[in-house]
Amino acid sequence: YSIRHQIHHQTAVEVEQLDPFSLVADELSVLANKLRSMVIAEVPKLASAAEYFFKLGVEGKRFRPTVLLLMASALHMPLPEPSDGSVGDAVSLELRTRQQCIAEITEMIHVASLLHDDVLDDADTRRGIGSLNFIMGNKLAVLAGDFLLSRACVALASLKNTEVVSLLATVVEHLVTGETMQMTSSSDQHCSMEYYMQKTYYKTASLISNSCKAIAILAGQTTEVAMLAYEYGRNLGLAFQLIDDVLDFTGTSASLGKGSLSDIRHGIVTAPMLFAMEEFPQLRTVVDRGFDDPANVDLALEYL
Ligand code: GRG
């Protein structure tokens, strides 16, 4: 309500200049504390691994929670009165708290996927510091990711909404599917914009779109509104990854918080390369040679 109230009293230009992150700054700091309390583990080694990316200063941009908290504000609806005259389910949380829970679950799934991704890519930096696998080794990084997924599942179950559980559980399958599709993105048969967009949906947009839809479902919105929330998240997620893929070519290690040119070095073909291949078909032969040889990376970069 307070966000809607703030926006209502602004002119169109002022609304355009609003910083979305600052609109939910208070809720983001509540979320940060909640996440820190949710990732406490029994065994000290696992505890320090699990909390690694939830510490102050290395929390990341919090893009997904910000989108979800804003979506929650936009779709805020009162909880229906319990029909049986009771005070309501003892564990039923306030709607807003339930929606905040989606933001927390989404961030935990996201961080789990980053931890596993860094192991798969053998990446040594993330968010401007050493990746967890670099600091504590691959084994602990995999286990910490599994631990976060488990905590996300428990939080998801506490919402007691089977549709929402199913949506977010499917997202984990999508993340794995997208990551697997990416492994063959440079092969001739997969070098297409269609394949790239499908992979990008699974790898990045599914988490954002399905969690936006979950927010709408929890708010008791109609199927139509839930689908609009989903479409909004899907497009935002696709745009987010497209920009991320461009930045991989144009950014610096300092601005990215991790090494640049990481995709091409891993033989991953993304949108900038696909556009360049459309314009320069001879780039195909460079891609076919693979990018183990740095000279071939340099050659491909000349076309971009
Ligand atoms: C264990 C859930 C799980 C998945 C395994 C490894 C894997 C399958 C999926 C990886 C998916 C992945 C890393 C997609 C990239 C998404 C992306 C654009 C990440 C960067 O997001 P930012 O910029 O990161 O929001 P910060 O650091 O700001 O949170």
Q: How far is the centre of ligand 1, averaged over its atoms, from the C-alpha of 117 (Å)?
A: 7
pLDDT classification of 149: cutoffs 50, 70, 90? very high
- Per residue in 227-251, pLDDT (tens digit) is 999 999 999 999 999 999 999 999 8
What is the rounded distance in angstroms from the CA atom of residue 20 to the CA atom of residue 24?
7
Domain of 278: which CATH number? 1.10.600.10
* pLDDT of 12 higher than 90: no
Q: Is 65 in the pocket of ligand 1 (CB under 6 A)?
A: no
Residue 133 covered by a domain: yes
Q: Is 249 in the pocket of ligand 1 (CB under 6 A)?
A: no
Ligand 1 atom 8: the closest Cα is on which residue? Answer: 176
pLDDT at 151: 97
pLDDT classification of 214: cutoffs 50, 70, 90? very high
In 3D, which of 58, 187, 183, 171 has the Cα closest to residue 106?
A: 171
Percent of the chain having pLDDT more than 70?
A: 91
Residue 156 covered by a domain: yes
Residue 10 covered by a domain: yes
* pLDDT of 280 higher than 50: yes
pLDDT classification of 5: cutoffs 50, 70, 90? low
Q: Is 112 in the pocket of ligand 1 (CB under 6 A)?
A: yes
pLDDT classification of 89: cutoffs 50, 70, 90? very low
Q: Which amino acid is at 2?
A: S
More confident residue, 73 or 200: 200
* pLDDT of 27 higher than 60: yes
Q: How far is the centre of ligand 1, averaged over its atoms, from the C-alpha of 172 (Å)?
A: 11
Could you list the residue range(s) of the whole structural domain that residue 197 is in?
2-79+89-303
Residues in the chain: 304
Structure tokens at 189: 């048969």
Exposure pattern of 94-129 as b/e (b: 16+ CB <10 Å)?
ebbebbbbbbbbbbbbbbbbbbbbbbebebebbbeb
β-pairing verdict for 125-126 and 129-130: antiparallel
pLDDT at 1: 52
What is the rounded distance in angstroms from the CA atom of residue 123 to the CA atom of residue 117?
8
pLDDT classification of 256: cutoffs 50, 70, 90? confident
Average pLDDT over residues 280-301: 91
pLDDT at 244: 95
Q: Is 303 in the pocket of ligand 1 (CB under 6 A)?
A: no
Q: 10 Å Cβ neighbour count for 57?
A: 7
Q: 10 Å Cβ neighbour count for 90?
A: 6
Q: 10 Å Cβ neighbour count for 211?
A: 30
Q: How far is the centre of ligand 1, averaged over its atoms, from the C-alpha of 44 (Å)?
A: 25
Q: Which amino acid is at 266?
A: H
Q: 10 Å Cβ neighbour count for 232?
A: 18
Number of domains in the chain: 1
Residue 119 covered by a domain: yes
Residue 217 covered by a domain: yes
What is the rounded distance in angstroms from the CA atom of residue 221 to the CA atom of residue 69?
16
Atom number, ligand 1, closest to the C-alpha of residue 257? 27
Residue 299 covered by a domain: yes
Average pLDDT over residues 67-85: 73
Q: Is 216 in the pocket of ligand 1 (CB under 6 A)?
A: no
Q: What is the pTM of this model?
A: 0.91
Residue 43 covered by a domain: yes
Residue 84 covered by a domain: no
Q: How far is the centre of ligand 1, averaged over its atoms, from the C-alpha of 133 (Å)?
A: 15
